[in-house]
């Protein structure tokens, strides 16, 4: 998936070797790539993106579930999160195509924006299908993809009888049970700083998923200005925020992965407001001049209090 994964298992069931587990984990991730990767030309999503039909196009139940979650988060975030953002992601050089040397022109941004809009994509559950309002709609599920991978690996581990595990696919993690020291898994939220890796705080995570999105890892610099991979559908350009990172805790990795990106695009005002309004457990780190200020939503603070109870 163009990134790293790690799986830690405590107290593995007897007879389950690390090598068997590795093959199963990689097969689960390969399946996800075959469904939703825009980097894999033969994936179901790439085929759907190449299909210029404006009639109903049948899709698999797995692809349907991811698109449905994307559309739910789009509605929740009033379109700040948008899985039809693909043409803009590609234009700014954050997709499968090579990054051009020059910044995109306003004309190119406007042309790409005309192809973007989550309401241009209709979804049907039974039988699963999508309908595009324009044949050149291009869906990008990368904001949910690591979560989909972590959920799928977690399911595979549980099928194998593993009860204590931590799965990380890049910045999205799912953990269950307890670690080798018989304590809840502790997940670090990093300081949102591009040139170093330091821990901002630790969060206990058991039977939960946690995901962080930020503007400090995937970006490029042009003429002294930083351009991040999170795109604001409202401007068609990379976000410019004081928000360094957003972390979300919840049950499913796919959901928290998408919500973390939605919060980044919403920014330091609208993001925390939405988390409070919807009772979502989120932690934000905002840059204030030279300092970093972290704060949790009420649901996040509740979550921490409950996790500290024996
Ligand atoms: P997140 O914050 O989780 O998501 C950011 C991404 O979401 C952006 O990069 C963009 O794609 C999209 N996005 C931007 N703005 C918005 C918005 N407003 N609304 C919704 N989405 C938005 N990369 C490679 O280099 N090579 C590969 O072979 C490769 N294969 C992949 C296969 C799969 C199945 C997936 C899911 C991704 C793959 N990637 C690959 C992509 C790479 O791993 C991405 O960097 C990653 O998915 C983005 O996740 P993140 O955690 O960095 O950021």
Residue 116 within a domain: no
Residue 80 within a domain: no
Residue 123 within a domain: no
- Output the domain CATH number for residue 171: 3.10.520.10
d(CA 141, ligand 1 centre) in Å = 7
Residue 36 within a domain: no
Residue 193 within a domain: yes
d(CA 294, ligand 1 centre) in Å = 25
Return the ligand 1 atom nearest residue 213 CA. 2
Q: Which domain holds residue 301?
A: 162-308
Longest CA–CA separation in the chain, Å: 61
pLDDT value for 117: 98
pLDDT value for 263: 98
How many domains, in total, are found in the chain? 1
Model-level pTM? 0.97
> How confident is the model over 165-207, as pLDDT tens digits?
999 999 999 999 999 999 999 999 999 988 888 999 999 999 9
CB distance 84 to 133 below 8 Å: no
> How confident is the model over 36-93, as pLDDT tens digits?
999 999 999 999 999 999 999 999 999 999 999 999 999 999 999 999 999 999 999 9
Residue 246 within a domain: yes
47-51, 142-146, 289-293: range with lowest mean pLDDT: 289-293
Residue 137 within a domain: no
d(CA 211, ligand 1 centre) in Å = 13
Please, what's the b/e burial string for 131-146 (b: 16 or more CB within 10 A of its CB; e: otherwise)? ebeeeebbbbbbbbbb
Residue 56 within a domain: no
pLDDT value for 310: 67
Q: Band of the pLDDT at 295, cuts 50, 70, 90? A: very high
Alpha helices in 123-280 (DSSP H): 142-159, 253-278
What mean pLDDT do residues 114-125 have?
98
């Amino acid at each position: 998936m163009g990134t790293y994964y790690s799986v830690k298992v405590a107290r593995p069931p007897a007879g389950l070797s690390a090598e068997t587990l590795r093959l199963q984990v990689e097969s689960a991730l390969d399946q996800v790539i075959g469904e939703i990767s825009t980097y894999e030309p033969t994936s179901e999503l790439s085929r759907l993106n190449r299909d210029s039909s404006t009639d109903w196009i049948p899709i698999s139940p797995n692809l349907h579930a991811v698109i449905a979650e994307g559309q739910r988060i789009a509605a929740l975030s009033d379109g700040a999160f948008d899985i039809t953002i693909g043409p803009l992601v590609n234009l700014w050089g954050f997709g499968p195509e090579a990054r051009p040397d020059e910044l995109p022109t306003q004309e190119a941004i406007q042309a790409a924006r005309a192809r973007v809009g989550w309401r241009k994509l209709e979804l049907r559950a039974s039988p699963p299908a999508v309908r595009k309002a324009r044949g050149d709609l291009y869906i990008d599920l990368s904001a949910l993809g690591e979560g989909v991978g972590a959920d799928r690996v977690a399911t595979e581990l549980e099928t194998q009888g593993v009860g204590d595990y931590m799965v990380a696919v890049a910045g999205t993690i799912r953990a269950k049970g307890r670690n080798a020291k018989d304590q809840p898994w502790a997940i670090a939220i990093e300081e949102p700083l591009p040139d170093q890796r330091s821990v901002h705080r630790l969060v206990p995570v058991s039977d939960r998923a946690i995901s962080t999105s930020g503007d400090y890892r995937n970006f490029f610099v042009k003429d002294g200005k930083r351009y991040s991979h999170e795109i604001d559908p409202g401007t068609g350009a990379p976000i410019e925020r004081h928000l360094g990172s957003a972390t979300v805790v919840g049950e499913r990795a796919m959901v928290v992965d998408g919500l973390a990106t939605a919060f980044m695009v919403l920014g330091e005002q609208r993001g925390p407001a939405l988390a409070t309004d919807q009772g979502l457990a989120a932690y934000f780190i905002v840059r204030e001049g030279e300092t970093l200020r972290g704060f949790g939503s009420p649901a996040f603070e509740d979550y921490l209090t409950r996790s500290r109870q024996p």
